[in-house]
Amino acid sequence: METRDKNTGLAFDIDEMATLAFIFFAGGFDSMSSVMYFLAHEVATNPDVQSKPRAEIDQVLEQNDGKPTYEAINSM
């Protein structure tokens, strides 16, 4: 498999394309893991921040007989 750059005419081989695909995948993974880490850290270190979403989750689950349905989650 080979493709050419429209501007320069240089060819990319399968190894270069695989490398670029991996870099794009890793870049997306790293940013999401950083966001999840930050969220977990903030929730753990700030009890007032933790109480608000917990109260909302409890309220929504109570309204839906303790079942986390798709509609219940979307209503949050």
Task: Give the residue extent of every domain in the chain.
Answer: 49-75
Task: Count Cβ atoms below 10 Å from residue 23 Cβ, excluding itself.
Answer: 10
Query: By the 8 A CB rule, do 76 and 57 touch?
Result: yes
CA distance linking residue 56 with residue 25, whole number of Å: 34
CA atoms within 13 A on the CB side of 8: 5
Query: By the 8 A CB rule, do 25 and 33 touch?
Result: no
pLDDT digits (tens, 9 = 90+) for 5-53: 666 666 777 888 888 888 888 777 777 888 888 888 888 888 888 888 8
Stated pTM of the model: 0.47
